[in-house]
Amino acid sequence: MPSPLDRVRIVLCAPSHPGNIGASARALQTMGLSRLVLVNPQRFPHADAAALASAATGVLEAAKVVSSLDAALEGVALAIGFTARERQFAGAVLPVREAAREALRYAGSGDVALVFGAEMSGLSNDEIARCQIIATIPAAPDARSLNLAAAVQVAAYELRVAAQGDRVWSAPAFEPATQESIAELFAHGERTLVALDFFRPSQPRRLLPRLRRLFARARLEKEEVNILRGILARIDERLERLEQTEK
Amino acid sequence: MPSPLDRVRIVLCAPSHPGNIGASARALQTMGLSRLVLVNPQRFPHADAAALASAATGVLEAAKVVSSLDAALEGVALAIGFTARERQFAGAVLPVREAAREALRYAGSGDVALVFGAEMSGLSNDEIARCQIIATIPAAPDARSLNLAAAVQVAAYELRVAAQGDRVWSAPAFEPATQESIAELFAHGERTLVALDFFRPSQPRRLLPRLRRLFARARLEKEEVNILRGILARIDERLERLEQTEK
């Protein structure tokens, strides 16, 4: 099934470090994106790009190299430019999370580009003028900007989350203990605590409710109840032996 | 004004590439985090770390180097481990966005650690057993895992967004136990199980990991650790008396 992510291209304008190209390819591949466009890369192809792409050789080899941003934006319905600082821009300025949602909305019907500037200078005013939306990545007020590949990673991640929608995550399934077995465990535990003289029914304090609360939070599994019952039985057996020998 | 982000530390277990240490330092700095802890880094300090840290020299220079994960987690109320694949872990498995919110909730009252495994192998089962929550970064189903520094960047970004959000940080109603006190509890429990002859170190099976998992899920509170230590001490005392009388 085609994903809207297939219609999103990541455009790097004049990247100077080939390592950033490779790391960006890897970021795309991990997030299920595939289209990388390089506008006048200073050095490409390059061993550093291949090294940092790691297993994302497919994305890297399919990267398109062009000589102008206009060529990179060919056929694009929406271009989103990333900037670190507030820029003179008349259009919408959105945090990357909103921008990613907007990108996916457009990708339902047309091609979308996320545009990143060169490492040192960012996007020029001329490049920004070709974008319809400016996206910013939240950062600490006094901090320097993100590394280029790190910014691509955050944007690709937000695209992935937007594409997945409200996905339900489930913990690995273990067999939960039944309520009866848990009640039996608590009853056994109470008897053993009494036998240990750790708990006195005449002075109940808050001990048993605290322990119940602990194990309720853990949501016990069947095997765990068996383990805990086994430990209690062993303690019981030793206490009986002690009682016999001390007689 | 102190930020809850000041109470969050990023722990890298045995990172092999110094470049990833530097890039992680930069990721922290841009997102307003400052505490980087390195467990047995293969090569550090290193020129590649300094180069990729860029302007984040402060974070890099303040990075703490320790020789065990336990040392890295000293004083931590909540440890969140990052894994790429489903793992045997019955505790909460949360996408990074939810995990970041949970981290900030705890950071209102205690220290929090985000724990990342080595580049090639990720977190070991032993390392995961020391975490109370597992966090995953959404990725394409057929994709390889994120680069280490890229994963740190995404996590740091989500922490920043969570910290900026309009949320009230409510501390947990009960005081969470420290990692040291939990480690001591497990060590004590193991000794007592050996004394009970319920657990034999020569035939370890899956007993201790199962018990660790159970209590990790429960996220123990300070008073609960005290109660459990008290029960263990009482069992110890009875076993010693039995040994004396059977002599």
Instruction: Classify B95 as helix, strand or coil.
Output: strand
CATH architecture entry for A4-164: 3-Layer(aba) Sandwich (3.40)
What's the mean per-residue pLDDT of chain B? 89
Q: Report the topology of domain B179-246.
A: Helicase, Ruva Protein; domain 3 (1.10.8)
pLDDT at residue A200, as a whole number: 84
Separation of first and last alpha carbons in chain A: 77
Looking at per-residue confidence, does A54 or B166 come out higher?
Answer: A54
Calculate how close chain B gets to A220, using CA atoms only, in Å: 7
Report the residue count for chain A: 247
Distance set, CA B176 to CA A206, B132, B224 (Å): 18, 12, 9
| Cβ pair B111, B164 in contact under 8 A | no
Count of other CB atoms within 10 angstroms of residue A145 = 20
Which of A23, A169, A198 lies at the smallest CB-CB distance from B230?
A198
Which of B94, B223, B234 lies at the smallest CB-CB distance from A196?
B234
Which one of A33, A146, A190 makes the best mutation probe of the B interface by having the most chain B beta carbons within 10 Å? A146
- Whether B30 and A139 lie within 8 Å, measured CB to CB: yes
pLDDT at residue B37, as a whole number: 98
Residue B119 to residue B123: CA distance in whole angstroms: 9
DSSP state letter for A54: T
| Cβ pair B130, B28 in contact under 8 A | no
Looking at per-residue confidence, does B216 or B228 come out higher?
Answer: B228
Where is A135: in which H helix or E strand? strand A133-136
Beta strands in chain B (DSSP E): 8-13, 35-39, 64-66, 76-82, 92-95, 111-116, 133-136
- Whether B145 and A231 lie within 8 Å, measured CB to CB: no
- Given a cut of 80, is residue B203 above it in pLDDT? no
For chain B, the structural domain boundaries read 4-164, 179-246
What lies within 8 Å, CB to CB, of A24 at 6+ separation is A10, A12, A15, A36, A148, A149, A152, A153
| Cβ pair B179, B75 in contact under 8 A | yes
| Cβ pair A41, A12 in contact under 8 A | yes
Residue A227 to residue B206: CA distance in whole angstroms: 11
pLDDT at residue A1, as a whole number: 61
- Whether B154 and A149 lie within 8 Å, measured CB to CB: no
Distance set, CA A13 to CA A17, A31, A42, B138 (Å): 12, 21, 10, 27
Q: How large is the ipTM?
A: 0.71
Buried b (16+ CB within 10 A) or exposed e, B65-86: ebeebeebbbebbbbbbbbbee
Question: Which of A130, A165, A152, A128 has the alpha carbon at shortest distance from A33?
Answer: A152
> What average pLDDT does this structure show over B29-56?
96
CB pairs under 8 A between A and B: 176
Chunked mean pLDDT (size 10), chain A, 247 residues? 89 97 97 97 96 94 97 93 79 89 88 96 92 92 90 97 62 68 91 91 80 81 91 94 86
- Whether B140 and A31 lie within 8 Å, measured CB to CB: yes
pLDDT in tens, B109-137: 889 999 999 999 999 989 998 998 999 99
Tell me, yes or no, if the two domains B4-164 and B179-246 fold the same way: no
Dihedral sign from CA coordinates of B33, B39, B45, B49: negative
Residue B167 to residue B84: CA distance in whole angstroms: 29
Calculate how close chain A gets to B146, using CA atoms only, in Å: 6
- Given a cut of 50, is residue B183 above it in pLDDT? yes
> What average pLDDT does this structure show over B61-72?
97
- Given a cut of 70, is residue B178 above it in pLDDT? yes
Q: Which residues in B lie closer than 8 A to residue A137 (C-beta atoms)?
A: 157
